[in-house]
Amino acid sequence: MKSIRMTLIATALMASLTGLALAQNTTASTESSPVDRMEKMRGHKGERHTQHLAELKSKLNLQAAQEPAWNSFSQSMQHPARMARPERAAFDQMTTPERLDQMQAIKAQRDAHMQQRAVATNVFYASLNPDQKQVFDQETARMMKGPGMHAMKHTGGHGNH
């Protein structure tokens, strides 16, 4: 008698847990996809980035002659549109050498964008007077202490995996 009761209790418990798991899974899928959540996060990040640039410009008290260099600098600092990546299914279908080639192509895109940022930053920095350079150095050092740089410092410069 005890074994039948225990079996019934165990079955009821398993059924209720399965129901909860299915309900949670259904709710999660209707909220938003991982891509939607990433796009939303990217938008918030972009808003903060734009705000930081506006604050930096205000603190620098730029002269009219410095505006073209600022515009070039601030445009280079904008996050590029989503860089081309293969869909997960396509990536999974690739051979290992093809995946490595694809990853190198993506890295080359990022490197090219970083090079553009570096050139624009150096041109802008050269246009600043000594007081502005000091403000720029302090502000950009503060910005680089954000969570992204913190994570890179603790993982050997490779971000979180």
C-alpha–C-alpha distance, residues 37 and 33, integer Å: 6
Written as one string, the DSSP assignment of 61-129 is T--GGGHHHHHHHHHHTSPPS------HHHHHHS-HHHHHHHHHHHHHHHHHHHHHHHHHHHHHHHHS-
Residues in the chain: 161
Predicted TM-score (pTM) of the model is: 0.60
Per-residue pLDDT of the chain (161 residues; tens, 9 = 90+): 566 665 556 555 555 555 545 455 444 444 566 555 555 555 556 788 889 899 999 999 999 999 999 999 999 988 776 666 677 888 889 999 999 998 899 899 989 999 999 999 999 999 999 999 999 999 988 877 765 544 444 444 444 44
